[in-house]
């Protein structure tokens, strides 16, 4: 391939530099839609070098087996092997790469040939295999508990990241480890945990959701007994991680290793705004397999919040709360909806009725306010009593991760309320809490303190009811003071109380 705007000798490039130049040429020639179909975003050389630098690993053996799933143009492998060639003990490297995009594998082979020549000059023997098959389907037997096959000393990857539909063959294979809307990168990571040898290393550039709560917490449970997270670095913005690509994710570097069972250990966590900015936070997180939470702090204030939460001795679940979810879908009940009150009708609580610390009903909206009370809607009903409503989904209008409001039986002409599937309800089992406690809990959930915590453990992913129930809460006296002082209105004084 001819490299635009370069008249010099390309043989003077390092293999990683040559691969990076080719990546720029391919990206400019390939339309965005085609790249997104494969989740294809080439790793810029600067990012690849940062990942190697971040990893801080050493190799004692003279031989090493490396794998790069979804290798693209092998920019990561080239950067890694160029580094390994600086270590005097490395004499032999065996590299296995996977790539399914036939439009680029010709260039990948050319780059790998240059890498072999470079290694020869460094007196290192490099052999490589480029497998032009789907990495997940190639290793489908991993999902058989009796799987035994070749393993690697080190796996390095910037895997594709996009949602898979539930009918995808790869989802069917991996169904035991997937929850919610499956993202392909999680399957890449899981397979890698299975094909790494004892004491082997995993170096990954992936979305920060790998560290998030809820669905990803369940995903992590499948490998945290034998994979240890050694180091995690969070980048808050992606603008320089993938150069000119527009990628709407926060990303992490993760260094992890295969170990014997260890129920508690320390993870080194760092943060910087982007690939070029300095590290502004560095701390040790005591990871517990039982709790399986990885908060990613981005400021000293975040660290103070984490310390404060350790002093709270209970949570909403232990305090007697439970979550109600409805499966009401408007398309299935459309004929039962009414814009105005009618005989044998009940109010419907939609997402737009829930604002931060405000319950608004009725609302002039395309979704009617009432629904006919028939046998078919019974699964969507709750008894009309004091509770806390929360949004299960927040659009881009909200900078907060959680939006709740206390409800004090204001629609007292009705025995029941119908609940939309996008609205969650926190109900107290005993139903004997004073209203100031309900107000206080809602105010606590709406606080910047809690918002910061959920950002740390969940990033931009919506907060689930299960996560709310596990949230540590302050002493009930503090909760009641919030409720008495604030009633049903959010106030910044809450954070001072906390």
Residue 2 lies in a domain: no
Asked if pLDDT for residue 484 goes beyond 90, the answer is no
On whether the CB atoms of residues 91 and 124 are closer than 8 A, the answer is: yes
Asked if pLDDT for residue 489 goes beyond 60, the answer is no
- The predicted-structure confidence for 88-117, as pLDDT tens digits, reads as follows 899 999 999 999 999 999 999 999 999 999
Domain boundary among 298, 333, 349: 298
Pair of tokens at residue 338 = 């009414």
Asked if pLDDT for residue 76 goes beyond 90, the answer is yes
Pair of tokens at residue 466 = 């299960």
Residue 306 lies in a domain: no
Identify the pLDDT of residue 45: 95
More confidently predicted of 472 and 36: 472
Identify the pLDDT of residue 460: 82
Identify the pLDDT of residue 396: 55
How far apart CA 368 and CA 241 sit, in angstroms, is: 45
Asked if pLDDT for residue 214 goes beyond 60, the answer is yes
Strand segments, DSSP code E, in 208-353 are 227-235, 251-258, 264-272, 281-288, 314-315, 321-325, 337-338, 345-349
Pair of tokens at residue 318 = 């232990």
Q: What percent of the chain has pLDDT over 70?
A: 90
Domain boundary among 244, 263, 298: 298
Are 234 and 329 contained in the same domain?
Answer: no
Q: Report whether the peptide linkage leading into residue 362 is cis, meaning its omega lies within 30 degrees of zero.
A: yes
Are 98 and 233 contained in the same domain?
Answer: yes
Domain count, the chain: 2
Are 345 and 237 contained in the same domain?
Answer: no
Domain with residue 135: its CATH number is 3.40.50.150
**CB neighbours of residue 280 within 10 Å:** 13
Are 434 and 482 contained in the same domain?
Answer: yes
Are 329 and 437 contained in the same domain?
Answer: yes
Domain with residue 412: its CATH number is 3.90.220
- The predicted-structure confidence for 294-328, as pLDDT tens digits, reads as follows 999 999 999 999 999 999 999 999 989 999 999 99
Residue 466 lies in a domain: yes
Mean pLDDT of 405-426: 95
Q: Which residue shows structure tokens 């890694």? A: 80
Residue 310 lies in a domain: no
Query: Among 48, 4, 47, which Cα is nearest to 25's?
Result: 4
> What is the extent of the structural domain holding 294?
10-298
Mean pLDDT of 120-148: 92
Residue 420 lies in a domain: yes
Identify the pLDDT of residue 10: 54
Query: Among 284, 285, 272, which Cα is nearest to 47's?
Result: 272
Cβ neighbourhood burial of 178 (10 Å; 0-12, 13-18, 19+): buried
Are 242 and 340 contained in the same domain?
Answer: no
Are 325 and 373 contained in the same domain?
Answer: yes
Are 281 and 352 contained in the same domain?
Answer: no
How far apart CA 106 and CA 433 sit, in angstroms, is: 68
Are 367 and 487 contained in the same domain?
Answer: yes
Identify the pLDDT of residue 7: 46
pLDDT, mean over the chain:
89
Are 87 and 53 contained in the same domain?
Answer: yes
Long-range contacts of 55-59 (CB under 8 A, 24+ apart): 55/201, 55/203, 55/231, 55/253, 55/255, 56/231, 56/255, 57/201, 57/203, 57/255, 58/87, 59/84, 59/87, 59/89, 59/90, 59/153
Asked if pLDDT for residue 9 goes beyond 80, the answer is no
Mean pLDDT of 430-457: 91
Residue 5 lies in a domain: no
H or E stretch at 107: helix 105-121
Domain boundary among 246, 267, 298: 298
Residue 313 lies in a domain: no
Residue 315 lies in a domain: no
Mean pLDDT of 386-398: 82
Which residues is 128 bridged to in the sheet?
95
Are 244 and 365 contained in the same domain?
Answer: no
Are 292 and 405 contained in the same domain?
Answer: no
State the pTM of this model: 0.89
Pair of tokens at residue 54 = 């971040």
Mean pLDDT of 417-444: 91
């Amino acid at each position: 391939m001819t490299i635009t705007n370069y008249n010099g000798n390309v043989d003077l490039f390092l293999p990683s530099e040559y691969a990076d130049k080719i990546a720029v040429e391919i990206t400019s020639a390939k339309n965005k839609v085609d790249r997104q179909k494969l989740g294809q975003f080439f790793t810029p050389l600067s990012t690849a070098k940062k990942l190697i630098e971040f990893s801080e690993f050493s190799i004692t053996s003279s031989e090493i087996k490396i794998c790069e799933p979804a290798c693209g143009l092998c920019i990561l492998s080239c950067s890694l092997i160029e580094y390994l060639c600086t270590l005097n003990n490395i004499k032999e490297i065996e590299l296995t790469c996977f790539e399914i995009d036939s439009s680029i594998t010709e260039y990948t082979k050319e780059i790998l040939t240059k890498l072999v020549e470079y290694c020869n000059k460094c007196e290192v023997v490099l052999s490589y295999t480029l497998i032009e098959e789907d990495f997940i389907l190639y290793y489908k037997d991993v999902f058989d508990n009796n799987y035994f096959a070749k393993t690697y000393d080190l796996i390095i990857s910037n895997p594709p990241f996009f949602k898979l539909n539930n009918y995808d063959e790869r989802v069917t294979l991996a169904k035991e480890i997937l929850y919610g809307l499956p993202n392909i990168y999680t399957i890449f990571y899981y397979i890698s945990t299975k094909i790494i040898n004892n004491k082997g290393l995993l170096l990954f550039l992936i979305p920060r959701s790998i560290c998030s709560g809820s669905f990803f917490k369940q995903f992590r449970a499948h490998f945290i007994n034998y994979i240890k997270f050694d180091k995690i670095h969070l980048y808050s913005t992606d603008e320089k991680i993938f150069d000119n690509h527009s990628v709407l994710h926060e990303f992490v570097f993760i260094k992890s290793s295969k170990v014997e069972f260890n129920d508690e250990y320390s993870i080194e966590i760092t943060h910087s705004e982007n690939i070029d900015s300095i590290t502004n936070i560095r701390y040790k997180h005591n990871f517990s397999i039982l709790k399986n939470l990885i908060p990613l702090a981005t400021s000293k204030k975040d660290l103070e919040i984490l310390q404060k939460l350790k002093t709270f001795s209970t949570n909403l679940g232990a305090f007697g709360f439970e979550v109600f979810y409805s499966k009401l879908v408007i398309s299935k009940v459309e004929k039962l909806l009414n814009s105005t009150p009618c005989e044998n009708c009940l109010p419907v609580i939609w997402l737009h009725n829930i604002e931060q610390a405000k319950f608004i009903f009725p609302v002039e909206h395309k979704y009617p306010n009432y629904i006919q009370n028939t046998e078919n809607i019974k699964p969507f009903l709750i008894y009309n009593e004091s509770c806390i409503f929360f949004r299960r989904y927040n659009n881009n209008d909200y900078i907060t991760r959680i939006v709740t409001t206390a409800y004090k039986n204001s629609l007292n002409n009705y025995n029941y309320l119908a609940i939309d599937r996008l609205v969650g309800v926190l109900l107290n089992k005993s139903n004997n809490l004073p209203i100031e406690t309900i107000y206080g809990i809602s105010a606590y959930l709406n606080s910047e303190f809690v918002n910061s915590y959920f950002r740390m453990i969940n990033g931009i992913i919506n907060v689930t009811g299960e996560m709310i129930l596990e949230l540590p809460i302050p002493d009930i006296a503090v909760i009641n003071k919030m409720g008495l002082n604030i009633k049903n209105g959010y106030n910044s004084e809450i954070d001072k109380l906390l």
